[in-house]
Amino acid sequence: MLDVQKVKQRIAELRKLPGIASKPLSEILEENGFTRRDFLKWSGTMAVALGLPASFAPVVAEAAEVSDRLPVIWLHLAECTGCSESLLRTDAPTIDNLIFNYINLEYHDTIMAAAGWQAEQNFEEAVKKFKGRYILCVEGGVPTKDNGDFLTIGPEAETGLEKVRRTAKDAKAIISVGTCSSFGGIQAAYPNPTGAVGVHKVVNKQVINVPGCPPSDRNIVGTIMYVILFGQLPAVDNFNRPKFAYGLRIHDLCERRGHFDAGEFVEEFGSQEAMNGFCLYKVGCKGPYTFNNCSRERFNQHTSWPVQAGHGCIGCSEPDFWDSMAPYEEPLANHKFESVSADATADKVGITILTIAGVAIAAHAAISAIKNPKE
Amino acid sequence: MKITKKIITKIEGEATLKLHKNQNIIEFAEIEFWQYRGIEDFLKNRHYNDASVINPRVCGICGHSHLIATAEVIENALKIKITKKAKILREITVGLEIIQNHIKWFYLTLFPSIKDIDYFKALEFSRDIAKIIALIAGQFPHNSYAIAGGITSDLTNLEIIKIKNFLLKMFERYQEIMNIEGYSKDLEILFEDIPKNIGKSLNKFLVLGNNLFFRANGEIKFVNEEKTSSFNKNALYNDKFYEVGPLARNLKNPLINKIYEEHKDSVYTRIFARLYEVNLIFEYLIKEIDKIDINEKNFIKPRNKNGKGKISIEAPRGSLIHEIEIENEKIKKYNIIVPTQFNLANGNKQNLSPAQAALINEDEKYADFIFKCFDICAICVSH
């Protein structure tokens, strides 16, 4: 699969297609104060992030340059817009973000110039014109109860369910951006009054999930880059998440990991232990059960991440985390499953979370509790 | 008479505006929101602390205000008093959220509805503001650093100094967008093509929150909700509609008041109040940060297990209300009323909401702009 020649061939073919950008990427980057050297450095780190050999770095750069040839359609369903917020605005303008702006975004209602009826028309045209060629990115869960009437969009009051099915039919690739479109998200928490589900449940095509609440821009752009590079979807885990981003547990690369190993835990927020920066497992950190790269990539231009600010990971890139990871300030091992919501997900928790590693972690924490008795 | 349906996009979600017109003049407007998620239902029977993780997801753009409101309503219910240090740090993150919201609203939502603008400068500004929030809270948007009893982060003196320097630098940079005398080149450019005096509304203002330097002029107990034909619920005060938001809460500022005397509650005054509020928040935060005593506690553990609470804070778009009932540490009832429910309510011809009143008797071609002046958040409404 990792055949540089094949990828180069593909890029050469893409280069022949008309692009939408008014000027080449190199110029846009230069105008924003990034040098060619910065760009190649970015390509190198992106290649590594995608799990490719370093020799792929120049190819990644080339792929970024032709990324305006592949049309992208971006749909907003039941959500809070936090994903777009995190990606398009808050983290701008990093190179990831500039490239995101450079991508041939045929339809995205928050950032496109057209609005209202005009926007709707652009959408219909893009779907027709790029039939079978566009990448569909979806943000937000799909309400399915009462035929999806809890979310209607546009002048024709089309339900989100109809719209995503219709758009998915002729898409070349489908990417679910964020936990809501991946697994239903907050809308799907018990009692799920709108019957919200992830996109993969309502279309019969493979969907790549890029979960997180919100996911980092690196993971979103990385997935799109991969599709451009290889013309196919990246290797995924059993929840269809790209392995390059979701291959390791938060816990594996956590800055507080040393304290975990040493049995040094925070037992109460605001305590001396909390000030010492000890491990947050006992105040509910779900890092050991959560697959994502936050501890490596961080947020807001690598400024910080929730664990650094003293609150445990809430497990936001795992399916059903709103129910299975709650209460968020208590360790999972104390989970008593007394509410109806917890019962509903208990089976899933059993399979997906409390693996042997999970049990071992709880046991380790319990043994250390004897060493450092609580209060 | 003719009725046209208009879809308002780029407002963090989508709203439907049905305009009743005579020629091009708007005679009546119906406002509808067609999304529903049911956030309050998810909270029932959960531990009260779960609300501080769930509620920010009401909205991706003002979620931090929901986080702080959640922490405060639980503290109100369980009778917890947090330390001054925790209070000031929360004020800083909420204040910064308001600032980045106003800048994005002006450059990404409002300005492009009239003419093109290079909004890169604004994006960069918001990004740097978000970085300061991340220094305190870990991430932006969506973090959980504020919990009932205080905050989870433990800042060092060096970090406080760093944050203060950041604030000073950003305040200075903001002078290019609107200076302390109230001059803004971009605002002048925006109003080259559009009259200043359109969009006059009810001229009745409501402030319910007491955070930052804002002072309430009403009591939460008089607020009631009523159902509409779409998924939105109207918010009323003593059964009447009032305008909430930056204009309402800054009317006493001499400079904003001068503009108000001249242009009344028109689009111009509304936009001016918003942009100028940023300066006032910067000034306030820079003064407040010096009052932090680093030796104070970050967090005080709640002891009570039962209680009822109802609070309001001033969020980017106006007064935000959270209400809770806790029984044996579990949430029995939760209710959220967002500012857009006041400003964008769907009233009838006898009792108009602020946005409806602002649209009536205006030319249809300004409808989109007048509507967006209120900084609508359809996502918040669809909680």
Count: domains in chain A = 2
Domain boundary among A211, A246, A281: A246
Count: domains in chain B = 1
Interface list for A 86-145 with B (CB within 8 A)? 86, 89-93, 109-111, 113, 115-117, 119-120, 143
Task: Tell me which residue range forms the domain holding B48.
Answer: 2-381
Q: Does B157 touch chain A (CB under 8 A)?
A: no
Q: Is B379 within 8 Å of A214 when comparing Cβ atoms?
A: no
A326 pLDDT higher than 80: yes
- Residue A357 binned pLDDT confidence (cut-offs 50, 70, 90): low
B193 pLDDT higher than 90: no
Domain co-membership, A155 together with A16: yes
Average predicted confidence (pLDDT) for chain A:
80
- Which chain A residues have a beta carbon less than 8 Å from that of B111? none
Q: Is A85 within 8 Å of B141 when comparing Cβ atoms?
A: yes
**What CATH number does the domain containing A63 carry?**
3.40.50.700
Domain boundary among A217, A246, A275: A246
Q: Does B297 touch chain A (CB under 8 A)?
A: yes
Q: Is A301 within 8 Å of B38 when comparing Cβ atoms?
A: no
B28 pLDDT higher than 60: yes
The confidence score (pLDDT) of residue A202 equals 95
Q: Does A268 touch chain B (CB under 8 A)?
A: yes
Instruction: Tell me the average pLDDT across A355-366.
Output: 60
d(CA B347, CA A88): 35
Domain co-membership, A198 together with A293: no
The confidence score (pLDDT) of residue A95 equals 67
Q: What is the pLDDT of residues B337-379, one digit of tens each?
A: 999 999 999 999 999 999 999 999 999 999 989 999 998 877 7
Domain boundary among A219, A246, A273: A246
The confidence score (pLDDT) of residue A373 equals 42
The confidence score (pLDDT) of residue A257 equals 94
- Residue A4 binned pLDDT confidence (cut-offs 50, 70, 90): confident
B260 pLDDT higher than 70: yes
Domain co-membership, A25 together with A170: yes
- Residue A336 binned pLDDT confidence (cut-offs 50, 70, 90): low
**What CATH number does the domain containing B300 carry?**
1.10.645.10
Domain co-membership, A351 together with A300: yes
- Residue A359 binned pLDDT confidence (cut-offs 50, 70, 90): low
A116 pLDDT higher than 90: no
Interface list for B 203-262 with A (CB within 8 A)? 231
Q: What is the pLDDT of residues B304-321, one digit of tens each?
A: 999 999 999 999 999 999
Domain co-membership, A39 together with A176: yes
User: Does B97 or A107 have the greater pLDDT score?
Assistant: B97
CA-nearest residue to B128 within chain A is: A90
The confidence score (pLDDT) of residue B352 equals 95
A369 pLDDT higher than 60: no
Instruction: Tell me the average pLDDT across B211-240.
Output: 93
Q: Which of A80-94, A138-152, A167-181, B185-199 is predicted least confidently?
A: A80-94
Q: Is B145 within 8 Å of A311 when comparing Cβ atoms?
A: yes
Domain co-membership, A47 together with A192: yes
Q: Does B135 touch chain A (CB under 8 A)?
A: yes
Domain co-membership, A217 together with A313: no
User: Does A111 or A339 have the greater pLDDT score?
Assistant: A111
**What CATH number does the domain containing A341 carry?**
4.10.480.10
B51 pLDDT higher than 60: yes
Q: Does B369 touch chain A (CB under 8 A)?
A: no
Domain co-membership, A103 together with A207: yes
In chain A, % of residues over pLDDT 70: 79
Task: Tell me which residue range forms the domain holding A261.
Answer: 250-371
Domain co-membership, A164 together with A182: yes
CA-nearest residue to B86 within chain A is: A270
